[in-house]
Amino acid sequence: MPKFDVLTIGNAIVDILARCDDAFLSDNAIIKGAMNLIDAERAELLYSKMGPAVEASGGSAGNTAAGIASLGGKAAYFGKVAEDQLGGIFQHDIRSLGVHYQTRPEGVAPPTARSMIFVTPDGERSMNTYLGACVELGPEHVETDVVAESKVTYFEGYLWDPPRAKDAIREAARIAHENGREVAMTLSDPFCVGRYRAEFLDLMRSGTVDIVFANRQEVLSLYETEDFDAALGQLAKDCKLGAVTLSEEGAVIVRGTEKVPVPATEIEELVDTTGAGDLFAAGFLFGYTAGRSLEDCGRLGCLSAGIVIQQIGPRPAVSLKHAAAEAGLI
């Protein structure tokens, strides 16, 4: 039996979250609702302008691993941090959740990645990310036995920004497929899709990636169209399985000629959308690796996303396993 349900690979980032208004974004040339890559100098500048902030271990794939663990699944994670304070925070946090994490920190330069996340009153988050130590992730950090013993290896599209990470992903995909496992990715961000559209499509069409997660804007960007149905139809042709989130409209799952709509989970208040897509992937993959129906996988994904957007921060503050049990999903 596989040792892990899901291995996630991503940029190991400590999130620094603060509230602001739309004027702050405009005054500081921050693109609302996107992930903006920044250098060390701008990271220091934005940090100096932040109001009261909350630090929390984050990073897209790390959030997904945390969600799977909260549901009771067996998760592993690859991601690079430095031997510094934020690196120590990240290691402690992810291991305390029960996630297998053994990627060794090496030195203090470049420092551990951090993302300044500004949350506006509408709950939208605008991320400004300094990748730091993340750019050091390479093939030598791929633990062959962990990949081989994971039902699904999942990585974030953001990994296409650090150059050596691409080689790490391709190596992990090779090992996974040689052992009869599957590979999943999230498109991460419309701007990320714009940077790497051709490479993402090649990953899908070559069979390197089996399962694709996206939101409406990302899949429209991928196929350079405003016709959502056309984009969804093409996604179904380009990968074995696709899951597209639609905010308050829920999600839709496609596999071949199957098309499964899933309603959103009702919420009391939208607080912060940080981590919504990451937690949808967590719920979906938890169900998928347990052999559940596509509808159940989608409902687990929507439930997990619905819970995380009612709090500040990208990792669930309550037990997703308990919430799923109350909803009759496990």
pLDDT of residue 216: 97
CATH of the domain at 77: 3.40.1190.20
* 3-state SS, residue 39: coil
Pairing status of strand 182-186 against strand 150-156: parallel
Q: What is the mean pLDDT of residues 226-234?
A: 98
pLDDT surpassing 90 at residue 78: yes
Q: 106: pLDDT confidence band, cut at 50, 70 and 90?
A: confident
Pair 294, 254: CB distance under 8 Å: no
C-alpha to C-alpha distance for 130 and 133, rounded to whole angstroms: 9
Burial of 94 (C-beta count, 10 Å sphere; 0-12/13-18/19+): buried
Q: Which domain holds residue 171?
A: 4-326
Percent of the chain with pLDDT over 70: 100
Q: In what order do the strands lie in the sheet with 100-101?
A: 100-101, 75-78, 4-9, 150-156, 182-186, 211-215, 241-245, 251-255, 258-262
How does the average pLDDT of the chain come out, rounded? 95
As for how many domains the chain has, the answer is 1
Q: 15: pLDDT confidence band, cut at 50, 70 and 90?
A: confident
C-alpha to C-alpha distance for 136 and 78, rounded to whole angstroms: 12
Pair 210, 288: CB distance under 8 Å: no
Give the DSSP H/E element, type plus range, for residue 245: strand 241-245
pLDDT of residue 58: 84
User: pTM (2 decimals)?
Assistant: 0.91
pLDDT of residue 123: 87
Instruction: Kindly report each contact of residues 170-179 with a partner whose C-beta sits within 8 Å and lies 24 or more positions away, as own/partner.
Output: 170/208, 171/139, 171/142, 172/7, 172/9, 172/78, 172/142, 172/147, 173/208, 173/209, 175/142, 175/144, 175/147, 175/148, 176/147, 176/148, 176/150, 177/207, 178/148, 179/147, 179/148
Residue located via tokens 């599957």: 182
pLDDT of residue 54: 85
C-alpha to C-alpha distance for 209 and 205, rounded to whole angstroms: 8
pLDDT of residue 200: 98
Please report which residue ranges of the chain form alpha helices under DSSP H. Answer: 22-27, 40-49, 60-70, 85-96, 144-148, 165-178, 190-205, 216-222, 228-238, 276-289, 294-308, 320-326
* 3-state SS, residue 276: helix
